Every structure is written in C-alpha cells, then in structure tokens.
Amino acid sequence: MPKADPLPANWRELLAEGNTDGQLCLLPIIERYAVTQVAAYISLLPLAQSPHFALRLRALIALGRLKQGGAFMPLVDMLAEERLNHWRLALLDTLLMLPNEDKISPLLPLLAVDQPGDGDACFLSGLVWFFGQQGSAAIDPLVKMLLAKPARARRLKDDLLAEAFFMAAGKDTGLLERLGEKEPPLARFCGNRIWPKTTHSCFGIYPNPDYMLQKALQAGLSHRMYKSLHHWHRNKT
C-alpha cells in the first residue's frame, strides 16, 4: 500500500502565510512531492527574495531541484536587479540547473557590462563559467565581450577562461583554432594554450566551494544549519 502524500493540500497558503521555520520545513516536502505539479515554482519565487538568509537560499535550492523552466526568466529578472555578489552567484547556480531553450540571450546584458555591487570580478568569473556550460553558441559572445576587451579579460583567471572556452567548444580545441582564423582575439588567446586534460571542471559558479558557507556564517547561520539547507530528502526506493 503506497504511503500517503505528506504534502498538505493547502501547501501554497502555508508557504505564503507561514512563519520562517514553517516555510523552511515545508520547502523540502515541496521539492519532493510538488515536482509534478504545473507551475509549482510560482509559490517559491517570493521566498527567493526573502530577507532571511536561510529561507532565501533554501528557496533557490528548491527552485533548482524542481527544474521547472518557467522559473528561468523570473530569476533572470531578479538577477538583473540584485546587487549583492553572493546572491547573484546563488541565482546563477539555480539558473544553471533550470531548463530553458536559450540560456545565453537573456544573460548577454550581464556579460556585456560590469555590474555594480561587491566583487564584480568574482561575479564576472561565475558568469563566464556559466556561459562555458552553454555550448558553442557561447563562444562568440565570450570572444566579443571579453577577449576583444583586454581590460575586462585581464580581470579573469586565464585558466578559468580557458576552461569556459574548452567546455563551450565541447572539448574540441580544433574548433577553437578554426574559429580563431576569423577572430584574432581568440587566435591570440589560443596560441600556445595548455588546454585542460580532463573532463573534470576545476572551476564553477562560486570562486571556491566554501564561498556560500562563509557568507552564511557571516549572516549568523551555524555550519550545521547551512549543511541542512542542502540536504536532499529523496524518496526511498
């Protein structure tokens, strides 16, 4: 006999009207049992702007795990308005997990200009790595908006840029060399380049694995609380 669904029928009302502790307890249940419900993400979006650090981060994690593409553009809009670097990176991390036919065009304005706020070079690095995960269509904007502007390119680690181009080209360095014949900045960048030798990424959205943990500790969360936010309560099979 199947177990009863623990997701309350009025979960949307509880999520909207409950206190922070109740919302935090409800989010893991939603990401387990509301994943098949159309537009479940809509009820989570307000929490992705919560002033409460733990609730905001947990909502972004749940949105990514729901993998409902309808959340992509609302989160892009949030990203365009956000000024704190760690939340910009957290939003990028969620966007990376969401399906969307075109993840490049909506984020081109962010790649084209330096954003105000703290740690611009750090955000730019995360954004470039995000673009590197989007396939060959990302190569042209990376060339035109970074390599063709040396002052901006110098703000990034060469190894991170190399990994972004390498991944965008599907690990085909020959493709980069052929494209470089028409794009001198790319040719200069590829010249004598030592490309990654493994499919394992050395970089990511965040500058280091403990980046958000440090932000959480600064916000008053304990290490244990932070880890609990990432726990995935998968159904047992």
pLDDT value at position 107?
97
Average pLDDT for 187-214: 91
pLDDT grade for 26, boundaries at 50, 70 and 90: very high
pLDDT grade for 194, boundaries at 50, 70 and 90: confident
Both tokens of residue 94? 């969620």
pLDDT at 1 over 60: no
Measured CA to CA, the distance from residue 6 to residue 19 in angstroms comes to: 19
pLDDT at 114 over 90: no
Tell me the average pLDDT of the chain.
92
**Contact between residue 75 and residue 91 where contact means Cβ atoms under 8 Å apart:** yes
**Residue ranges per domain, the chain?**
1-101+221-237, 104-206
pLDDT value at position 100?
97
Average pLDDT for 212-226: 97
Both tokens of residue 73? 């553009």
Write the Ramachandran bin of 53: left for phi over 0, alpha for psi from -120 to 50, otherwise beta: alpha
pLDDT at 11 over 50: yes
Lowest mean pLDDT among 73-82, 118-127, 166-175: 118-127
Measured CA to CA, the distance from residue 223 to residue 70 in angstroms comes to: 32
* Closest to 225 (Cα-Cα) out of 44, 57, 26, 49: 57
Measured CA to CA, the distance from residue 89 to residue 117 in angstroms comes to: 12
* Closest to 105 (Cα-Cα) out of 134, 146, 67, 74: 134
pLDDT tens per residue across span 121-151? 899 999 999 999 999 999 999 999 999 998 8
Average pLDDT for 90-95: 98
